[in-house]
Amino acid sequence: MKVYLYEGRRKNGELVKGKIEAINLGEARNKLKKEGIVFITKLEESNSIIDRLGQISIGGGLTLEDRARILRNLAVLLHAGVKLEEAFEILLEQADKKREKEILEYIINDLIYEGKTLSEAMSRFKSDFGRLTIEMIRSAEETGELAETLEKLADYYDKIIKLRRKVKSAMMYPTVIIFAVILIVAGIIYFVVPQFAQMYKDMGSQLPTPTLLLLNASKFVTSKGPYVVVGFVLFVVGFMQLLKIPAVKKIWDRIMLKVPVLGDIILKSNLAAFSRTFASLFSSGVDIVSSVKTASRTVSNLYIREILEGVIPYLSEGKTMAEYFEKYKKTLDPLFVHMLKTGEASGTIDTMLLKVAENYEDEVDKKVEGLTTLIEPVMIIVIGGVVGGIIVALYLPIFKMGSLVSQ
């Protein structure tokens, strides 16, 4: 949004001046007329540094949740018979995020003042709406089924959001267990073990190896506590930064696929996202290569994404997808490859992949629910085992002394 300085008069002759935000000069002039300023003597873009800083958008673009909400609300309004331009003005009134308001204002300007189609207006915001949205809307504009397509897109994004949340919650459980164990062990080593250390020091007897290791660890943590905490934080931050390097993340993603239960959830959620996106694009008339490219971008696991994108050269050579994916049957999933082969043979590849997506989504739901049920007993066993092991190590010298006395 740009800031314009204006001067003018109202119908009653009152002289007014000030600032107004608008996308361009034409919109600024129309806004002033709506405010009753009919005679404009000055209208120019502000050169003030403060005004220019105010034009900078702070924060990221639209989230998937924002995208789904905008598309669904737009579909509801169009189904109710509201004109497209009016529908966007209603959405603008509802918007509470600066970036969202900015995008909607640009789209309204393009629709009303530039005479562009909705897909053309959205094209300047590909990163916010996604190529899938723009391609399907472009196809819907040709068939006259815009409201129905917007509703389908909203349903699609809702499913993707739900799937991602399931995977995040599944990955959160092991993290919770690890951090719980670390906190409990750190607490015991810092507060409890030093009490035993003093007692055993006074005894002066030879300590068993497990007890000695525990006492040494406690001595190190209590004397170097701040360094241990800083070191741990730096390790976590450094590890997260390393994962931003594509080559490192690809290795990590490949390792994660081998983790029992969690690896299967990650694989099938990624294949579900790819399959549903590909099916939506291909059924809308997008060519197969473009459909694969766009659908691959919805895959968060870089190792799987690399495999999926590897089919593009095969397709360019006129080969089938099934031919390529056959050699990755063990890495991916036999069902995925089989349904691709059946779909290509029958000419219903979009229908088959949609069924694959639905099947995998159901599987992910069930596995995450199972993991949720399993997590409580696992936490009890793991934490109990760790705490029990520490207690045994602490009391070993006492047990040893008791056995010597009884002899």
Q: What is the residue-wise DSSP string for 214-232? A: HHHHHHHHHHSHHHHHHHH
Confidence at residue 53, expressed as pLDDT on a 0 to 100 scale: 41
> Which tokens belong to 375?
């997590």
Amino acid (1-letter code) at residue 196: F
Domain ranges of the chain: 2-54, 64-144, 168-407
In the numeric block, the tokens 């983790």 are attached to 259
CA 332 – CA 305 distance, rounded (Å): 11
pTM of the model: 0.69
Of 376, 170, 154, 155, nearest to 268 by C-alpha is 170
3-state secondary structure of 310: coil
> Which tokens belong to 225?
């506590």
Compare 88 and 369 and report the one with higher pLDDT.
Answer: 88
Label residue 404 by pLDDT band (50, 70, 90): very low
CA 355 – CA 336 distance, rounded (Å): 10
Amino acid (1-letter code) at residue 298: T
Confidence at residue 311, expressed as pLDDT on a 0 to 100 scale: 93
3-state secondary structure of 207: coil
Confidence at residue 219, expressed as pLDDT on a 0 to 100 scale: 86
- 282-300 pLDDT, tens digit per residue, is 988 888 998 999 899 889 9
Compare 245 and 377 and report the one with higher pLDDT.
Answer: 245
CA 182 – CA 16 distance, rounded (Å): 66
Longest dimension (CA), the chain: 113
Confidence at residue 359, expressed as pLDDT on a 0 to 100 scale: 94
Q: Indicate if the pLDDT at residue 376 is higher than 80.
A: no
pLDDT, average across residues 93-109: 88
Mean residue pLDDT of the chain comes to 85
CATH architecture assigned to 64-144: Up-down Bundle (1.20)
Label residue 102 by pLDDT band (50, 70, 90): confident
Q: What is the residue-wise DSSP string for 2-36? A: EEEEEEEEETT--EEEEEEEESSHHHHHHHHHHTT
In 295-407, beta strands by DSSP E = none
CA 136 – CA 153 distance, rounded (Å): 8
Cβ contact 306:250 at 8 Å: yes
Kindly list the distances between the CA atom of residue 399 and the CA atoms of 150, 208, 391, 394, in Å, as whole numbers in the listed order. 72, 11, 12, 10
pLDDT, average across residues 84-100: 90
- 161-192 pLDDT, tens digit per residue, is 988 888 887 778 778 778 888 888 888 888 88
CA 178 – CA 176 distance, rounded (Å): 6
Cβ contact 43:25 at 8 Å: yes
Least confident of 1-10, 300-309, 349-358, 379-388: 1-10
CA 353 – CA 283 distance, rounded (Å): 11
Q: Indicate if the pLDDT at residue 394 is higher than 50.
A: yes
